[in-house]
Amino acid sequence: MVSHPGEAAPERFLGDLYYRQGRLDKAEEVYLHILQHIPTDKETHNRLGVVYATENRVDDAIAQFNAALPGTDSVGDLVAMHQRKGDLNAYQTQMEQLAASEPTDANIQAEVGQIYATLHRPLDALAFFKRALDSDPESLTALNGVGLAYFDTRDYSDALTYFRKCLSIDNTNYSCTNNLGAAYLESGDGDSAKPWLARARQLEPERPEALVNFGFLADRNGDWKRAVQYYVQATVVGPYLPEAYVDLGIDYEHNALYPLAQSALLRGIAAAPGDGRIRYLLALAYAAQGNNSLALTQLAAAKQSLDPDVARMASEETAKLRTASTQTVP
């Protein structure tokens, strides 16, 4: 029986296993059992929120994602749930008003920063993360957020600076360690990336992000089969991370393995139903196999993506498929 926070991880892993097997009722049971004994376990609240999101229990998912804050990456999930519920604008406005009324609350400022980051507005995100740092210069969430905002604008030098600042305060912070490695990787310095990604794996081997980055490094080195192994391992370790499914889909499709891409991407949709990238890639897999009707259904969902680039590509692919369909009509 779970009694201490440090003992939650093994039972949480069991819940994750049930989730991967599609046994959502058992996963929910395990997560609820943990929360009976450790009601403040934020990671478990986040996992339970994902189960409810998968079951389309939107309000229950929102409640769990809120309970996971601050301290976890639940804001992106909250944005997705409010988008699904149809009140994203109201949620965003509410949080902006709360930030305006609590200008010295670093957690609130950082949460709004994360909302803007999820909306692919890195400059707005940067402003709120820096406001958080004005009140709490040692906010790890804000330091990591500033780094990610610079990362998203491809300013890798400043990104590296803030990830290092984060680690100067807490050298065991997984997110900043992994993101430091990712920033080196994106800047083209794979050799500098490797030790930081290895360090992240050592810090939290049950998390998938570093594995995805190792897969990206293998892809960059031309070893797509090794990359696929990393991505598959990432989906086993952490079945909730959409990037692993996205990268799997890209590699499979690049090598014309469309049935494998379809299988991986369908699992990804179960884990992240609102991720437009997964929907778009699944559409490409369907189209490559001649299933244009199914492809158009996925493209319609992808056009609702919060990422404007994904929405644009989905619109362009929709037009192309419809044109091709018209031209083949006798």
Distance, CA of 107 to CA of 122 (rounded, Å): 18
- Of 268, 270, 271, give the one whose Cα is nearest residue 247: 268
How does the average pLDDT of the chain come out, rounded? 93
Contacts of 198 (CB under 8 A, 6+ apart): 210
Give the pLDDT mean for 100-116.
Answer: 96
pLDDT above 90 covers what percent of the chain? 81
pLDDT reading at 5 higher than 60:
no
Distance, CA of 201 to CA of 127 (rounded, Å): 31
Distance, CA of 324 to CA of 330 (rounded, Å): 12
Q: What is the pLDDT of residue 328?
A: 55
DSSP 155-174: -HHHHHHHHHHHHHH-TT-H
Distance, CA of 69 to CA of 40 (rounded, Å): 10
pLDDT digits (tens, 9 = 90+) for 109-123: 999 999 999 999 999
Q: Is the peptide bond before 239 cis (omega within 30 degrees of 0)?
A: no
CB-CB contact of 44 with 38 (8 Å): yes
Give the pLDDT mean for 292-309.
Answer: 95
Q: What is the pLDDT of residue 71?
A: 75
pLDDT reading at 6 higher than 60:
no
Q: Which CATH superfamily is domain 1-68 in?
A: Tetratricopeptide repeat domain (1.25.40.10)
More confident residue, 7 or 268: 268
Task: Locate the domains of the chain by residue range.
Answer: 1-68, 222-330
Give the pLDDT mean for 165-186.
Answer: 97
Same fold? 1-68, 222-330: yes
CB-CB contact of 252 with 270 (8 Å): no
Neighbours of 253 (CB within 10 A): 20
Q: What is the pLDDT of residue 181?
A: 98
Q: What is the pLDDT of residue 110?
A: 96
Q: What is the pLDDT of residue 21?
A: 84
More confident residue, 70 or 225: 225
pLDDT digits (tens, 9 = 90+) for 72-85: 788 988 998 999 89
Give the pLDDT mean for 306-326.
Answer: 92
- Two structure tokens written together for 302: 């992808």
Q: What is the pLDDT of residue 2?
A: 41
pLDDT reading at 4 higher than 80:
no
pLDDT above 70 covers what percent of the chain? 97
Distance, CA of 325 to CA of 72 (rounded, Å): 45
- Of 107, 58, 54, 99, give the one whose Cα is nearest residue 79: 58
Distance, CA of 234 to CA of 150 (rounded, Å): 25
**What is the Cα 48 distance to its own chain's centre?**
16
Give the pLDDT mean for 9-37.
Answer: 90
Longest dimension (CA), the chain: 69
Place of tokens 């897969």: 215
Radius of gyration for the alpha carbons in the chain, expressed in angstroms and rounded: 20
pLDDT digits (tens, 9 = 90+) for 205-247: 988 999 999 999 999 999 999 999 999 999 988 888 899 999 9
Q: Domain 222-330 adopts which CATH fold? A: 1.25.40
More confident residue, 207 or 166: 166
- Of 138, 135, 215, give the one whose Cα is nearest residue 182: 215
pLDDT confidence band for 3 (50 / 70 / 90): very low
Degrees (nearest 5) of the Cα angle 117, 236, 10?
Answer: 95
Q: What is the pLDDT of residue 327?
A: 63
pLDDT digits (tens, 9 = 90+) for 258-280: 999 999 999 999 888 889 999 99
Give the pLDDT mean for 142-169.
Answer: 98
